[in-house]
Structure 1
Amino acid sequence: MKREEFEMAKPVIGFIGVGLMGHGMAKNIVEKGYPLVIMGHRNREPVEDLLKRGATEVKTPREMAEQCDIIHLCVSASPQVEEVIRGESGILSSGKKGLTVIDCSTSDPVSTLQIAADLKAAGMDFADAPLSRTPKEAEAGTLDTMVGAAPETFERIKPVLECWAKVIVHLGEVGLGHKMKLVNNFISMGYAVLYSEALAIARRSGLTVEQVHSVVGQGRMANGFYETFMKYAVERDENAHKFTITNAHKDMRYLANMANSAGAVNAIQSVVKNAFAAMEASGQGERHVPMLSDFIAEMNGLPGDWR
Protein backbone atom coordinates (compact mmCIF):
# COMPACT_ATOMS: atom_id res chain seq x y z
CA MET A 1 0.00 0.00 0.00
CA LYS A 2 1.33 3.44 -0.95
CA ARG A 3 1.74 5.99 1.83
CA GLU A 4 -1.07 8.14 0.40
CA GLU A 5 -3.42 5.17 0.46
CA PHE A 6 -2.34 4.31 4.01
CA GLU A 7 -3.08 7.86 5.16
CA MET A 8 -6.51 7.75 3.52
CA ALA A 9 -7.26 4.47 5.29
CA LYS A 10 -6.77 6.00 8.73
CA PRO A 11 -9.97 6.85 10.59
CA VAL A 12 -10.87 10.50 11.08
CA ILE A 13 -10.47 11.43 14.74
CA GLY A 14 -12.47 14.09 16.56
CA PHE A 15 -11.44 15.76 19.82
CA ILE A 16 -13.64 17.84 22.13
CA GLY A 17 -11.84 19.42 25.06
CA VAL A 18 -8.35 20.53 24.00
CA GLY A 19 -7.43 22.02 27.38
CA LEU A 20 -4.59 21.16 29.75
CA MET A 21 -4.69 17.42 29.00
CA GLY A 22 -6.55 17.38 25.70
CA HIS A 23 -4.16 19.62 23.78
CA GLY A 24 -1.22 17.24 24.19
CA MET A 25 -3.33 14.21 23.38
CA ALA A 26 -4.75 15.81 20.24
CA LYS A 27 -1.30 17.03 19.21
CA ASN A 28 0.06 13.50 19.34
CA ILE A 29 -2.87 12.16 17.31
CA VAL A 30 -2.36 14.62 14.46
CA GLU A 31 1.41 14.21 14.56
CA LYS A 32 0.96 10.45 14.11
CA GLY A 33 -0.74 11.16 10.79
CA TYR A 34 -4.41 10.85 11.73
CA PRO A 35 -6.87 13.36 10.24
CA LEU A 36 -7.99 15.43 13.24
CA VAL A 37 -11.14 17.49 13.77
CA ILE A 38 -11.41 19.69 16.88
CA MET A 39 -14.15 21.81 18.41
CA GLY A 40 -13.63 25.39 19.58
CA HIS A 41 -12.44 25.93 23.13
CA ARG A 42 -12.77 29.00 25.36
CA ASN A 43 -8.98 29.24 25.30
CA ARG A 44 -8.07 29.78 21.66
CA GLU A 45 -4.33 29.22 22.06
CA PRO A 46 -4.41 25.38 21.98
CA VAL A 47 -6.99 25.47 19.18
CA GLU A 48 -4.84 27.72 17.00
CA ASP A 49 -1.79 25.55 17.69
CA LEU A 50 -3.61 22.41 16.55
CA LEU A 51 -4.96 24.14 13.45
CA LYS A 52 -1.39 25.05 12.51
CA ARG A 53 -0.47 21.37 12.87
CA GLY A 54 -3.13 20.34 10.36
CA ALA A 55 -6.35 19.92 12.34
CA THR A 56 -9.67 21.32 11.15
CA GLU A 57 -12.30 22.97 13.35
CA VAL A 58 -16.05 22.54 13.71
CA LYS A 59 -18.58 24.42 15.81
CA THR A 60 -20.83 21.64 17.18
CA PRO A 61 -20.54 18.01 18.31
CA ARG A 62 -23.08 17.08 15.65
CA GLU A 63 -20.92 18.55 12.90
CA MET A 64 -17.93 16.67 14.27
CA ALA A 65 -19.83 13.39 14.40
CA GLU A 66 -20.84 13.77 10.78
CA GLN A 67 -17.17 14.03 9.76
CA CYS A 68 -15.48 11.57 12.13
CA ASP A 69 -15.11 7.85 12.80
CA ILE A 70 -13.88 8.18 16.41
CA ILE A 71 -14.46 11.09 18.81
CA HIS A 72 -12.54 11.76 22.03
CA LEU A 73 -14.17 13.68 24.88
CA CYS A 74 -11.88 15.29 27.44
CA VAL A 75 -14.18 17.65 29.35
CA SER A 76 -14.58 18.60 32.98
CA ALA A 77 -17.40 16.37 34.26
CA SER A 78 -20.46 14.24 33.48
CA PRO A 79 -22.86 17.16 32.90
CA GLN A 80 -20.59 18.40 30.11
CA VAL A 81 -20.30 14.88 28.64
CA GLU A 82 -24.10 14.52 28.71
CA GLU A 83 -24.55 17.86 26.93
CA VAL A 84 -22.06 16.92 24.21
CA ILE A 85 -23.86 13.61 23.68
CA ARG A 86 -27.52 14.51 24.19
CA GLY A 87 -27.66 18.25 23.50
CA GLU A 88 -29.69 19.80 20.70
CA SER A 89 -26.61 19.77 18.45
CA GLY A 90 -25.04 16.81 20.22
CA ILE A 91 -23.46 13.65 18.90
CA LEU A 92 -26.67 11.62 19.09
CA SER A 93 -28.47 14.13 16.87
CA SER A 94 -26.10 13.22 14.01
CA GLY A 95 -27.50 9.70 13.67
CA LYS A 96 -24.00 8.60 12.63
CA LYS A 97 -24.14 4.80 12.83
CA GLY A 98 -20.77 3.13 13.42
CA LEU A 99 -19.31 6.14 15.23
CA THR A 100 -17.20 5.38 18.31
CA VAL A 101 -17.09 7.81 21.27
CA ILE A 102 -14.18 7.62 23.73
CA ASP A 103 -14.79 9.47 27.01
CA CYS A 104 -11.42 10.38 28.54
CA SER A 105 -13.03 12.59 31.19
CA THR A 106 -13.30 11.54 34.82
CA SER A 107 -17.03 10.85 34.79
CA ASP A 108 -19.71 9.40 37.05
CA PRO A 109 -20.01 5.69 36.12
CA VAL A 110 -23.79 5.83 36.65
CA SER A 111 -24.01 8.47 33.91
CA THR A 112 -21.47 6.61 31.77
CA LEU A 113 -23.58 3.45 31.60
CA GLN A 114 -26.69 5.43 30.66
CA ILE A 115 -24.84 7.27 27.89
CA ALA A 116 -23.36 4.02 26.57
CA ALA A 117 -26.86 2.53 26.34
CA ASP A 118 -28.18 5.60 24.48
CA LEU A 119 -25.32 5.45 21.97
CA LYS A 120 -25.75 1.71 21.44
CA ALA A 121 -29.46 2.19 20.70
CA ALA A 122 -28.43 4.71 18.02
CA GLY A 123 -25.93 2.31 16.42
CA MET A 124 -22.86 3.91 17.98
CA ASP A 125 -20.12 2.45 20.19
CA PHE A 126 -18.72 3.80 23.46
CA ALA A 127 -15.53 3.36 25.46
CA ASP A 128 -14.49 4.99 28.72
CA ALA A 129 -10.75 5.68 28.78
CA PRO A 130 -9.97 8.08 31.64
CA LEU A 131 -6.43 9.31 32.18
CA SER A 132 -3.69 9.14 34.74
CA ARG A 133 -0.58 11.36 35.02
CA THR A 134 -0.25 15.05 34.17
CA PRO A 135 -0.28 17.56 31.27
CA LYS A 136 3.47 16.98 30.93
CA GLU A 137 2.87 13.33 29.97
CA ALA A 138 -0.06 14.36 27.76
CA GLU A 139 2.30 16.53 25.70
CA ALA A 140 4.85 13.70 25.57
CA GLY A 141 2.25 11.10 24.57
CA THR A 142 3.02 8.95 27.63
CA LEU A 143 -0.20 9.05 29.65
CA ASP A 144 -1.74 6.04 31.36
CA THR A 145 -5.29 5.04 30.50
CA MET A 146 -7.71 2.49 31.92
CA VAL A 147 -10.30 1.35 29.41
CA GLY A 148 -13.82 0.01 29.63
CA ALA A 149 -15.03 -1.26 26.25
CA ALA A 150 -16.32 -4.28 24.38
CA PRO A 151 -13.37 -6.35 23.06
CA GLU A 152 -14.02 -5.48 19.41
CA THR A 153 -14.31 -1.77 20.25
CA PHE A 154 -11.07 -1.86 22.22
CA GLU A 155 -9.17 -3.48 19.35
CA ARG A 156 -10.50 -0.85 16.96
CA ILE A 157 -9.49 2.12 19.09
CA LYS A 158 -6.22 0.78 20.53
CA PRO A 159 -3.98 2.15 17.71
CA VAL A 160 -5.41 5.62 18.38
CA LEU A 161 -4.96 5.31 22.14
CA GLU A 162 -1.33 4.40 21.50
CA CYS A 163 -0.81 7.87 20.01
CA TRP A 164 -1.11 9.47 23.44
CA ALA A 165 -0.81 6.68 26.03
CA LYS A 166 2.19 4.59 27.05
CA VAL A 167 0.32 2.33 29.49
CA ILE A 168 -3.07 1.04 28.27
CA VAL A 169 -5.03 -1.35 30.48
CA HIS A 170 -8.24 -2.87 29.11
CA LEU A 171 -10.25 -3.67 32.24
CA GLY A 172 -13.30 -5.16 30.53
CA GLU A 173 -16.81 -3.91 29.87
CA VAL A 174 -17.95 -0.30 29.53
CA GLY A 175 -17.92 1.59 32.84
CA LEU A 176 -14.98 -0.20 34.42
CA GLY A 177 -12.57 2.46 33.21
CA HIS A 178 -14.39 5.26 35.00
CA LYS A 179 -14.86 3.12 38.10
CA MET A 180 -11.14 2.35 38.22
CA LYS A 181 -10.27 6.02 37.66
CA LEU A 182 -12.32 7.02 40.70
CA VAL A 183 -10.63 4.37 42.84
CA ASN A 184 -7.25 5.58 41.56
CA ASN A 185 -8.14 9.20 42.37
CA PHE A 186 -9.38 8.23 45.81
CA ILE A 187 -5.94 6.83 46.55
CA SER A 188 -4.13 9.92 45.21
CA MET A 189 -6.47 12.44 46.85
CA GLY A 190 -6.26 10.40 50.04
CA TYR A 191 -2.50 10.86 49.90
CA ALA A 192 -3.00 14.60 49.50
CA VAL A 193 -5.12 14.81 52.66
CA LEU A 194 -2.76 12.51 54.58
CA TYR A 195 0.35 14.46 53.56
CA SER A 196 -1.31 17.78 54.38
CA GLU A 197 -2.32 16.69 57.88
CA ALA A 198 1.03 15.01 58.53
CA LEU A 199 2.89 18.20 57.58
CA ALA A 200 0.65 20.27 59.85
CA ILE A 201 1.19 17.92 62.80
CA ALA A 202 4.93 17.93 62.14
CA ARG A 203 5.09 21.72 62.06
CA ARG A 204 3.00 22.05 65.23
CA SER A 205 5.46 19.65 66.87
CA GLY A 206 8.58 21.61 65.94
CA LEU A 207 9.64 19.84 62.74
CA THR A 208 10.06 21.67 59.44
CA VAL A 209 8.65 20.69 56.06
CA GLU A 210 12.22 20.17 54.82
CA GLN A 211 13.00 17.83 57.70
CA VAL A 212 9.94 15.71 56.97
CA HIS A 213 10.88 15.57 53.29
CA SER A 214 14.51 14.68 54.06
CA VAL A 215 13.31 11.47 55.70
CA VAL A 216 10.16 10.48 53.83
CA GLY A 217 11.47 11.53 50.40
CA GLN A 218 14.35 9.06 50.65
CA GLY A 219 12.38 6.19 52.12
CA ARG A 220 9.84 3.57 51.12
CA MET A 221 6.92 5.95 51.63
CA ALA A 222 7.90 8.11 48.65
CA ASN A 223 6.07 7.72 45.33
CA GLY A 224 5.28 9.66 42.19
CA PHE A 225 2.35 11.53 43.73
CA TYR A 226 4.44 12.36 46.79
CA GLU A 227 7.12 13.88 44.57
CA THR A 228 4.78 16.29 42.79
CA PHE A 229 2.92 17.11 46.01
CA MET A 230 6.14 17.90 47.87
CA LYS A 231 7.50 19.90 44.95
CA TYR A 232 4.90 22.45 45.95
CA ALA A 233 5.11 21.88 49.71
CA VAL A 234 8.91 22.27 49.75
CA GLU A 235 9.76 24.34 46.66
CA ARG A 236 6.46 26.27 46.38
CA ASP A 237 6.14 25.31 42.72
CA GLU A 238 2.50 26.19 42.00
CA ASN A 239 2.56 24.27 38.71
CA ALA A 240 3.88 21.01 40.19
CA HIS A 241 0.46 19.32 39.94
CA LYS A 242 -2.14 21.19 37.88
CA PHE A 243 -5.29 19.59 39.26
CA THR A 244 -7.78 21.84 40.98
CA ILE A 245 -9.47 21.47 44.34
CA THR A 246 -12.83 21.76 42.54
CA ASN A 247 -11.99 18.78 40.31
CA ALA A 248 -10.75 16.75 43.27
CA HIS A 249 -13.98 17.43 45.16
CA LYS A 250 -16.03 16.50 42.08
CA ASP A 251 -14.19 13.18 41.74
CA MET A 252 -14.71 12.37 45.40
CA ARG A 253 -18.45 13.11 45.06
CA TYR A 254 -18.60 10.72 42.12
CA LEU A 255 -16.79 8.06 44.14
CA ALA A 256 -19.21 8.53 47.03
CA ASN A 257 -22.08 8.01 44.57
CA MET A 258 -20.36 4.89 43.22
CA ALA A 259 -19.84 3.54 46.76
CA ASN A 260 -23.48 4.18 47.61
CA SER A 261 -24.61 2.40 44.44
CA ALA A 262 -22.43 -0.58 45.33
CA GLY A 263 -23.51 -0.62 48.99
CA ALA A 264 -19.90 -0.13 50.07
CA VAL A 265 -18.76 1.32 53.40
CA ASN A 266 -16.67 4.45 52.71
CA ALA A 267 -15.83 6.06 56.04
CA ILE A 268 -12.30 7.18 55.09
CA GLN A 269 -13.40 8.39 51.67
CA SER A 270 -15.97 10.64 53.32
CA VAL A 271 -13.19 12.32 55.31
CA VAL A 272 -11.12 12.79 52.15
CA LYS A 273 -14.10 14.25 50.26
CA ASN A 274 -14.92 16.66 53.07
CA ALA A 275 -11.37 18.05 53.13
CA PHE A 276 -11.74 19.17 49.53
CA ALA A 277 -15.34 20.29 50.14
CA ALA A 278 -14.14 22.56 52.95
CA MET A 279 -11.39 24.14 50.86
CA GLU A 280 -13.72 24.70 47.90
CA ALA A 281 -16.36 26.19 50.20
CA SER A 282 -13.74 28.66 51.44
CA GLY A 283 -13.47 30.06 47.90
CA GLN A 284 -10.23 28.30 46.97
CA GLY A 285 -11.58 25.81 44.44
CA GLU A 286 -9.28 26.95 41.63
CA ARG A 287 -6.11 26.34 43.63
CA HIS A 288 -4.20 23.12 42.95
CA VAL A 289 -4.33 19.95 45.05
CA PRO A 290 -0.90 20.29 46.77
CA MET A 291 -2.11 23.66 48.10
CA LEU A 292 -4.41 21.69 50.39
CA SER A 293 -1.33 21.58 52.65
CA ASP A 294 -1.66 25.35 53.16
CA PHE A 295 -5.37 25.08 53.93
CA ILE A 296 -4.86 22.32 56.52
CA ALA A 297 -1.96 24.27 58.02
CA GLU A 298 -4.17 27.33 58.46
CA MET A 299 -6.83 25.16 60.13
CA ASN A 300 -4.09 24.30 62.64
CA GLY A 301 -3.24 27.94 63.34
CA LEU A 302 -0.14 27.85 61.15
CA PRO A 303 0.73 30.21 58.28
CA GLY A 304 -0.14 28.55 54.98
CA ASP A 305 2.79 30.11 53.16
CA TRP A 306 5.35 28.98 55.71
CA ARG A 307 8.23 30.71 53.93
Structure 2
Amino acid sequence: MRVGFVGLGLMGLPMARHLIAGGHQLFVASSSSQPLEILAAAGATVCATPREIADQVDVFFSCRVTPEQSRETFLGADGAIQAGNRELLCVDLSTIDPETSKAIGQALADRGMGFLDAPISGGPDGAAAKTLSIIVGGASADVDRAQPLFDLLGKKTFHMGPIGAGVAAKLCNNMITITTHALLAEAMVLGVKAGIDAHRLYEVLSASSASSRSLERVVPHHFLKRNFEPAVMMATVVKDLECAVDTGRKLGVRLLLPNVALQCFVEAAGLGHSGDIASVILPMEAIAGVKVGTS
Protein backbone atom coordinates (compact mmCIF):
# COMPACT_ATOMS: atom_id res chain seq x y z
CA MET A 1 0.00 0.00 0.00
CA ARG A 2 1.15 3.56 -0.65
CA VAL A 3 1.07 5.39 2.70
CA GLY A 4 1.76 8.99 3.67
CA PHE A 5 2.97 10.21 7.06
CA VAL A 6 3.60 13.61 8.65
CA GLY A 7 4.38 14.37 12.27
CA LEU A 8 7.65 12.47 12.69
CA GLY A 9 8.32 13.14 16.37
CA LEU A 10 8.83 10.87 19.36
CA MET A 11 5.86 8.71 18.36
CA GLY A 12 5.52 9.41 14.66
CA LEU A 13 9.02 8.35 13.66
CA PRO A 14 8.87 4.80 15.09
CA MET A 15 5.37 4.33 13.64
CA ALA A 16 6.59 5.41 10.21
CA ARG A 17 9.44 2.91 10.47
CA HIS A 18 6.98 0.12 11.31
CA LEU A 19 4.99 0.91 8.17
CA ILE A 20 8.13 0.59 6.03
CA ALA A 21 9.07 -2.65 7.82
CA GLY A 22 5.56 -3.92 7.05
CA GLY A 23 6.28 -3.67 3.34
CA HIS A 24 4.44 -0.44 2.54
CA GLN A 25 5.71 2.34 0.30
CA LEU A 26 6.01 5.40 2.52
CA PHE A 27 5.85 9.08 1.55
CA VAL A 28 6.85 11.60 4.22
CA ALA A 29 7.24 15.33 4.86
CA SER A 30 8.68 17.22 7.81
CA SER A 31 10.31 20.51 8.76
CA SER A 32 12.96 18.49 10.63
CA SER A 33 15.76 16.99 8.55
CA GLN A 34 16.82 14.18 10.90
CA PRO A 35 13.69 12.00 10.68
CA LEU A 36 13.58 12.53 6.91
CA GLU A 37 17.16 11.32 6.60
CA ILE A 38 16.42 8.26 8.73
CA LEU A 39 13.30 7.33 6.75
CA ALA A 40 14.83 8.09 3.36
CA ALA A 41 17.67 5.71 4.22
CA ALA A 42 15.02 3.08 4.97
CA GLY A 43 13.37 3.60 1.59
CA ALA A 44 10.78 6.35 2.13
CA THR A 45 10.10 9.05 -0.47
CA VAL A 46 10.56 12.59 0.86
CA CYS A 47 7.93 15.15 -0.20
CA ALA A 48 7.66 18.89 0.33
CA THR A 49 4.05 19.21 1.56
CA PRO A 50 1.03 17.19 2.71
CA ARG A 51 -0.60 18.01 -0.63
CA GLU A 52 2.29 16.41 -2.52
CA ILE A 53 2.00 13.32 -0.35
CA ALA A 54 -1.78 13.12 -0.72
CA ASP A 55 -1.59 12.98 -4.51
CA GLN A 56 0.50 9.80 -4.34
CA VAL A 57 -0.93 7.64 -1.53
CA ASP A 58 -3.93 5.55 -0.54
CA VAL A 59 -3.87 6.35 3.19
CA PHE A 60 -2.41 9.50 4.75
CA PHE A 61 -1.47 9.58 8.46
CA SER A 62 -0.85 12.71 10.50
CA CYS A 63 0.61 12.58 14.00
CA ARG A 64 1.03 16.22 14.93
CA VAL A 65 0.12 17.92 18.22
CA THR A 66 -2.47 20.70 18.16
CA PRO A 67 -5.90 21.17 16.58
CA GLU A 68 -4.43 24.00 14.50
CA GLN A 69 -1.74 21.69 13.13
CA SER A 70 -4.32 19.06 12.21
CA ARG A 71 -6.37 21.67 10.32
CA GLU A 72 -3.24 22.85 8.52
CA THR A 73 -2.23 19.31 7.52
CA PHE A 74 -5.60 18.32 6.12
CA LEU A 75 -7.32 21.59 5.16
CA GLY A 76 -4.53 24.14 4.68
CA ALA A 77 -3.32 25.76 1.47
CA ASP A 78 -0.81 22.93 1.08
CA GLY A 79 -3.00 20.39 2.86
CA ALA A 80 -4.28 17.02 1.78
CA ILE A 81 -7.65 18.47 0.75
CA GLN A 82 -5.98 20.35 -2.11
CA ALA A 83 -4.91 17.11 -3.78
CA GLY A 84 -6.82 15.60 -6.68
CA ASN A 85 -6.94 12.18 -5.03
CA ARG A 86 -10.62 11.48 -4.34
CA GLU A 87 -9.91 7.94 -3.09
CA LEU A 88 -7.73 9.19 -0.26
CA LEU A 89 -8.33 8.10 3.33
CA CYS A 90 -6.92 10.57 5.89
CA VAL A 91 -6.16 9.38 9.43
CA ASP A 92 -5.41 11.81 12.26
CA LEU A 93 -3.47 10.14 15.09
CA SER A 94 -3.41 13.36 17.13
CA THR A 95 -5.26 14.01 20.37
CA ILE A 96 -7.40 17.05 19.58
CA ASP A 97 -11.01 18.09 20.23
CA PRO A 98 -14.11 16.43 18.70
CA GLU A 99 -15.34 19.66 17.13
CA THR A 100 -12.16 20.07 15.09
CA SER A 101 -12.18 16.41 14.05
CA LYS A 102 -15.78 16.69 12.85
CA ALA A 103 -14.99 19.85 10.88
CA ILE A 104 -12.01 18.21 9.19
CA GLY A 105 -14.03 15.09 8.41
CA GLN A 106 -16.88 17.07 6.87
CA ALA A 107 -14.57 19.21 4.72
CA LEU A 108 -12.78 16.13 3.41
CA ALA A 109 -16.09 14.31 2.81
CA ASP A 110 -17.24 17.25 0.68
CA ARG A 111 -14.26 16.47 -1.58
CA GLY A 112 -15.02 12.74 -1.61
CA MET A 113 -12.21 11.85 0.82
CA GLY A 114 -12.48 9.65 3.90
CA PHE A 115 -11.38 10.58 7.40
CA LEU A 116 -10.75 8.82 10.72
CA ASP A 117 -9.87 10.43 14.04
CA ALA A 118 -7.61 7.79 15.58
CA PRO A 119 -5.68 9.10 18.60
CA ILE A 120 -3.11 6.74 20.05
CA SER A 121 -2.31 5.81 23.64
CA GLY A 122 0.89 4.24 24.92
CA GLY A 123 3.55 6.91 24.56
CA PRO A 124 6.89 6.70 22.76
CA ASP A 125 7.65 3.31 24.32
CA GLY A 126 4.38 1.91 22.99
CA ALA A 127 5.05 3.40 19.56
CA ALA A 128 8.47 1.74 19.46
CA ALA A 129 7.14 -1.60 20.69
CA LYS A 130 4.01 -1.60 18.46
CA THR A 131 1.78 -1.91 21.54
CA LEU A 132 -0.29 1.26 21.15
CA SER A 133 -4.03 1.40 21.70
CA ILE A 134 -5.66 3.05 18.67
CA ILE A 135 -8.97 4.74 19.52
CA VAL A 136 -10.97 5.41 16.36
CA GLY A 137 -13.94 7.48 15.25
CA GLY A 138 -15.32 7.17 11.71
CA ALA A 139 -17.15 4.97 9.24
CA SER A 140 -16.78 1.20 9.65
CA ALA A 141 -15.68 0.79 6.03
CA ASP A 142 -12.86 3.28 6.56
CA VAL A 143 -11.79 1.55 9.76
CA ASP A 144 -11.67 -1.77 7.91
CA ARG A 145 -9.57 -0.17 5.18
CA ALA A 146 -7.05 1.19 7.70
CA GLN A 147 -7.00 -1.88 9.96
CA PRO A 148 -4.03 -3.65 8.30
CA LEU A 149 -1.98 -0.51 8.94
CA PHE A 150 -3.28 -0.13 12.49
CA ASP A 151 -2.18 -3.72 13.12
CA LEU A 152 1.40 -2.69 12.37
CA LEU A 153 1.27 0.15 14.88
CA GLY A 154 -0.61 -1.14 17.92
CA LYS A 155 -1.93 -4.10 19.84
CA LYS A 156 -5.61 -3.18 19.76
CA THR A 157 -7.99 -0.97 17.82
CA PHE A 158 -11.13 0.39 19.47
CA HIS A 159 -13.82 1.66 17.09
CA MET A 160 -15.80 4.05 19.28
CA GLY A 161 -18.38 5.39 16.81
CA PRO A 162 -18.60 8.21 14.22
CA ILE A 163 -16.00 10.89 13.59
CA GLY A 164 -15.20 12.68 16.85
CA ALA A 165 -15.83 9.65 19.06
CA GLY A 166 -12.18 8.56 18.99
CA VAL A 167 -10.79 11.84 20.24
CA ALA A 168 -13.61 12.20 22.79
CA ALA A 169 -12.69 8.82 24.30
CA LYS A 170 -8.99 9.70 24.26
CA LEU A 171 -9.66 12.98 26.05
CA CYS A 172 -11.47 11.05 28.80
CA ASN A 173 -8.41 8.82 29.17
CA ASN A 174 -5.91 11.67 29.18
CA MET A 175 -8.01 13.76 31.54
CA ILE A 176 -7.75 10.96 34.10
CA THR A 177 -4.05 10.20 33.69
CA ILE A 178 -2.87 13.82 33.56
CA THR A 179 -4.93 14.86 36.59
CA THR A 180 -3.62 11.79 38.43
CA HIS A 181 -0.03 12.86 37.74
CA ALA A 182 -0.66 16.17 39.50
CA LEU A 183 -2.28 14.42 42.47
CA LEU A 184 0.60 11.95 42.75
CA ALA A 185 3.05 14.84 42.79
CA GLU A 186 1.15 16.49 45.65
CA ALA A 187 1.00 13.21 47.60
CA MET A 188 4.73 12.60 47.26
CA VAL A 189 5.59 16.16 48.32
CA LEU A 190 3.24 15.90 51.30
CA GLY A 191 4.76 12.60 52.39
CA VAL A 192 8.33 13.85 52.17
CA LYS A 193 7.44 17.07 53.99
CA ALA A 194 5.91 14.91 56.74
CA GLY A 195 9.25 13.13 57.14
CA ILE A 196 8.54 9.93 55.17
CA ASP A 197 11.25 8.45 52.97
CA ALA A 198 10.11 8.87 49.35
CA HIS A 199 11.09 5.35 48.32
CA ARG A 200 9.20 3.82 51.25
CA LEU A 201 6.16 5.95 50.47
CA TYR A 202 6.22 4.70 46.89
CA GLU A 203 6.33 1.11 48.14
CA VAL A 204 3.22 1.71 50.24
CA LEU A 205 1.30 3.44 47.46
CA SER A 206 2.27 0.77 44.95
CA ALA A 207 0.97 -1.98 47.25
CA SER A 208 -2.19 -0.15 48.28
CA SER A 209 -5.38 1.19 46.73
CA ALA A 210 -3.50 4.16 45.25
CA SER A 211 -1.68 1.86 42.84
CA SER A 212 -2.10 2.74 39.16
CA ARG A 213 -0.23 2.75 35.85
CA SER A 214 0.36 6.47 36.31
CA LEU A 215 1.96 5.88 39.71
CA GLU A 216 4.19 3.15 38.27
CA ARG A 217 5.26 5.44 35.47
CA VAL A 218 5.95 8.72 37.16
CA VAL A 219 7.13 7.94 40.70
CA PRO A 220 9.92 5.37 40.21
CA HIS A 221 11.04 6.53 36.77
CA HIS A 222 10.75 10.29 37.17
CA PHE A 223 10.15 11.66 40.68
CA LEU A 224 12.55 9.36 42.54
CA LYS A 225 15.24 9.57 39.84
CA ARG A 226 14.80 13.33 39.33
CA ASN A 227 14.35 12.57 35.63
CA PHE A 228 12.50 15.35 33.83
CA GLU A 229 13.66 14.60 30.30
CA PRO A 230 10.62 14.81 28.01
CA ALA A 231 8.74 11.63 27.16
CA VAL A 232 5.35 13.33 27.49
CA MET A 233 5.96 17.02 26.82
CA MET A 234 4.51 19.63 29.17
CA ALA A 235 3.09 21.59 26.21
CA THR A 236 1.27 18.49 25.00
CA VAL A 237 -0.18 17.88 28.47
CA VAL A 238 -1.50 21.45 28.66
CA LYS A 239 -3.01 21.11 25.17
CA ASP A 240 -4.76 17.84 26.07
CA LEU A 241 -6.30 19.25 29.24
CA GLU A 242 -7.35 22.43 27.43
CA CYS A 243 -9.08 20.31 24.76
CA ALA A 244 -10.87 18.29 27.45
CA VAL A 245 -11.95 21.36 29.43
CA ASP A 246 -13.10 23.16 26.28
CA THR A 247 -15.09 20.11 25.17
CA GLY A 248 -16.70 19.85 28.60
CA ARG A 249 -17.68 23.52 28.51
CA LYS A 250 -19.29 23.15 25.07
CA LEU A 251 -21.21 20.05 26.20
CA GLY A 252 -22.28 21.56 29.52
CA VAL A 253 -20.20 19.14 31.61
CA ARG A 254 -18.54 20.47 34.77
CA LEU A 255 -14.90 19.38 34.97
CA LEU A 256 -13.58 20.71 38.27
CA LEU A 257 -10.55 18.49 38.89
CA PRO A 258 -9.09 18.74 35.37
CA ASN A 259 -9.40 22.53 35.59
CA VAL A 260 -7.41 22.56 38.85
CA ALA A 261 -4.82 20.17 37.39
CA LEU A 262 -4.52 22.39 34.32
CA GLN A 263 -3.52 25.32 36.54
CA CYS A 264 -0.78 23.16 38.12
CA PHE A 265 0.68 22.36 34.70
CA VAL A 266 0.32 25.93 33.42
CA GLU A 267 2.16 27.13 36.55
CA ALA A 268 5.00 24.66 35.99
CA ALA A 269 5.29 25.60 32.32
CA GLY A 270 5.20 29.30 33.18
CA LEU A 271 8.11 28.82 35.56
CA GLY A 272 10.17 27.32 32.74
CA HIS A 273 9.62 23.62 33.46
CA SER A 274 8.92 22.58 29.89
CA GLY A 275 10.14 18.98 30.01
CA ASP A 276 8.22 15.87 30.98
CA ILE A 277 4.77 15.82 32.58
CA ALA A 278 6.61 14.87 35.79
CA SER A 279 7.88 18.48 35.96
CA VAL A 280 4.56 19.40 37.56
CA ILE A 281 6.14 18.42 40.90
CA LEU A 282 8.85 21.09 40.75
CA PRO A 283 6.79 24.14 41.82
CA MET A 284 5.13 22.03 44.52
CA GLU A 285 8.55 21.08 45.90
CA ALA A 286 9.71 24.69 45.81
CA ILE A 287 6.69 25.85 47.79
CA ALA A 288 7.10 23.06 50.36
CA GLY A 289 10.88 23.40 50.58
CA VAL A 290 11.57 19.71 49.92
CA LYS A 291 12.78 17.45 47.12
CA VAL A 292 11.32 14.05 46.29
CA GLY A 293 14.06 11.59 45.25
CA THR A 294 17.69 12.10 44.42
CA SER A 295 19.48 12.74 41.14
Same fold (TM over 0.5): yes
Contact 1:209 1:233 in 2 (8 A): no
Deviation readout 1:222-267 (Å, 9 max, x if unpaired): 232221201111123344x601111111111110111011100111
Taking the TM superposition and a 5 Å limit, the aligned residue runs for 1:148-297 are 148-230=137-219, 231-239=221-229, 242-284=231-273, 286-297=274-285
One of 7, 30, 33 as aligned partner of 1:17: 7
Q: Which amino acid aligns with 1:132?
A: S
1:293 Cα deviation after fit: 1.8
The equivalent residue for 2:42 is 53
CA distance in 2, matches of 1:296, 1:244: 18
1:305 Cα deviation after fit: 6.9
Q: Which amino acid aligns with 1:38?
A: V
1:303 Cα deviation after fit: 4.2
Q: CA RMSD in A?
A: 1.5
CA distance in 2, matches of 1:238, 1:260: 32
Matched, 1:300 2:270: no
SS class of match (1:252): helix
SS class of match (1:255): helix
Contact 1:17 1:41 in 2 (8 A): no
The equivalent residue for 1:29 is 19
Structure 1 moving runs of 4+ over 6 Å = none
Structure 1 vs Structure 2: percent identity of aligned residues? 27
The equivalent residue for 1:93 is 82
Count of aligned pairs: 294
Q: Which amino acid aligns with 1:236?
A: R
The equivalent residue for 1:111 is 100
TM-score (normalizing by structure 1): 0.92
SS class of match (2:135): strand
SS class of match (2:145): helix
**Which blocks of at least 5 consecutive residues in structure 1 are unaligned?**
1-10
The equivalent residue for 2:51 is 62
CA distance in 1, matches of 2:283, 2:275: 10
TM-score (normalizing by structure 2): 0.95
Contact 1:243 1:289 in 2 (8 A): yes
CA distance in 2, matches of 1:304, 1:79: 37
CA distance in 2, matches of 1:249, 1:123: 34
The equivalent residue for 1:73 is 62
Q: Which amino acid aligns with 1:23?
A: L
CA distance in 1, matches of 2:112, 2:278: 43
**Which blocks of at least 5 consecutive residues in structure 2 are unaligned?**
none
Q: Which moved more, 1:144-153 or 1:80-89?
A: 80-89
